[in-house]
Chain A
Amino acid sequence: EDQVTQSPEALRLQEGESSSLNCSYTVSGLRGLFWYRQDPGKGPEFLFTLYSAGEEKEKERLKATLTKKESFLHITAPKPEDSATYLCAVHWGAQKLVFGQGTRLTINP
């Protein structure tokens, strides 16, 4: 069964402590992989789209990378305002976005 799995489920870091979030997928015929950020009580906010293995995208303290089986969201020197749930989603088929369960990231000051 096509599946998107994110790890870890939750991650606590100290301010300035860099780390990576993982998104692995088993869908066939990947058409694109998306990263979103979701704050409590709000809808997901678009961060990045990656389309092919080897591609990388950066925005402020975040960098997303893609291989044939997984994607990583690297966060460098995070700040408390980076605390959120990070969702990855795979575009599979004609229109369907399949989401992982998310990683809940907490950055302590």
Chain B
Amino acid sequence: ETGVTQSPTHLIKTRGQQVTLRCSSQSGHNTVSWYQQALGQGPQFIFQYYREEENGRGNFPPRFSGLQFPNYSSELNVNALELDDSALYLCASSLDGGLNIQYFGAGTRLSVL
């Protein structure tokens, strides 16, 4: 077990709705990264938060947004959901961003109908 917890485990939404996914990082870790993993593909980097500030972003539109709280837990928000947003959303925590090992949670499976 990595100590990284994500909620909820599964979620079903309809197109156009908004969703919030949550992640609690491993104790002592101050960096959270979010990834989207489509079926049969590797995870794709969405963005990273380090000490409550966004610290890098992948090729995702602005309707993907995030937040990191003082206890280093994090949220991923997706507005105006599209069918292609259906995927496994993974959160990974690490220490001080950069080169350090990222430890992943079990993910949230989002289905958009």
Task: List residues of A whose CB falls within 8 A of some B CB.
Answer: 4, 6, 31-32, 34, 36, 41-46, 49, 51, 87, 89, 91, 93-102
Contact = CB atoms under 8 A, between A and B. Distances in A.
A90 to B, nearest CB: 11
B2 interface: yes
A45 B104 contact: yes
A96 B97 CA distance: 9
21 contacts: A31-B99, A32-B99, A43-B4, A43-B90, A43-B104, A43-B107, A44-B104, A46-B102, A46-B103, A51-B99, A93-B56, A94-B56, A94-B97, A95-B56, A96-B48, A97-B35, A97-B102, A99-B35, A99-B44, A101-B41, A102-B42
A95 B40 contact: no
Interface of B: 2, 4, 33, 35, 40-45, 48, 50, 55-56, 58, 90, 92, 97-99, 101-107
A96 B45 contact: yes
Contacts of B43: 44, 87, 89, 97, 99
Nearest to B48: A95
What are the 8 A-B residue pairs with the smallest beta carbon separation, nearest first?
A99-B42, A43-B104, A95-B56, A44-B104, A95-B48, A101-B42, A43-B106, A95-B97
A43 B105 contact: yes
Contacts of A4: 42
B98 A94 contact: yes
A58 to B, nearest CB: 17
Nearest to A4: B42
